[in-house]
Structure 1
C-alpha cells in the first residue's frame, strides 16, 4: 500500500538557481515518513515513551532526476518494500504531476534508548505487512 503526502515548494526550499536545493528532498521525504507512520497508527512519541524504541535512518540511496521549482505542488509516495524484525525498507518517490523528480530507498532501523538495535514490536510489524 502506498501512502501519499502533498507538499508545496516554498522560496526557502530553493537555491540560487531557483530550484529545490538537493538536501531539501530529504526534508520532504522525512515529513512524508512521519505522516506515513501516523497513517499506519504508529505513535512514535508513545513508542519511545512506553517501549524505549525510536527509528533512525540507517541508509538512503537517492536519485535526483529532475528539478522542482518555487510554488510546485509535489507528491511524496511512500511504499514499504520490506519489514523485518528490526528494519524497514521504504521506497519514496517525489513527483510533480506525472513527472518523477526524485526517488530514494530508505532503510530505517529500530533502536533502543542506549542506541543498540532493537526489535520492532510485532503489532507494528503486522501493520506494515
Structure 2
C-alpha cells in the first residue's frame, strides 16, 4: 500500500543555483509521512494526548539521485516495509515526472512522553499493516 503525496517546489525550497536544497527533501518526506498516517485514520494529536505516544525518526538512509528545481511538481511515495511492536520501517521516494530524485529508508519508533521507546497500541499497529 503506497501512499502518494503531491507538492510543488517553491522558490524558498531552492538554493542559489535554483535547485532544491538537500535538507528540504527531509521536510518533503516528513509532510508525506504525516499525510500517510492521517490517511490511515491515525490522529497523532489524539495518540499523544490519549496514549502519551509520539513517533520519532530513529534512523534514516538517504540517496540524492537527481536535483529537483524551482516549480517542479513532485510526488512523494511512502511505502511501509515493516511494522513491529514499537517500530515502523518505511521506504520514501521523491519523484518528478516518474523519475526518482531522492530515495530513503526511514525507521520510526514510538516514544513515551518521557522519551523512552514503547509499544504501539494494538489498534494503531493494525492500521499500519
Query: Which of the five TM-score ranges fits, normalised by the shorter chain?
Result: over 0.9
Distance between the aligned counterparts of 2:82 and 2:121, measured in 1?
15
Distance between the aligned counterparts of 1:24 and 1:98, measured in 2?
20
Structure 1 unmatched runs, 5+: none
CA-CA distance at 1:127 after TM superposition: 1.2
Provide the residue aligned with 2:76 in structure 1. 76
CA-CA distance at 1:38 after TM superposition: 0.1
TM-score (norm 1): 0.99
User: Number of residue pairs matched?
Assistant: 129
Structure 2 unmatched runs, 5+: none
CA-CA distance at 1:105 after TM superposition: 0.3
- Please provide the CA RMSD for this pair: 0.5
CA-CA distance at 1:124 after TM superposition: 1.0
Provide the residue aligned with 1:31 in structure 2. 31
TM-score (norm 2): 0.99
Q: Pairwise mapping of residues 1-129 of structure 1 onto structure 2 (< 5 A)?
A: 1-129=1-129
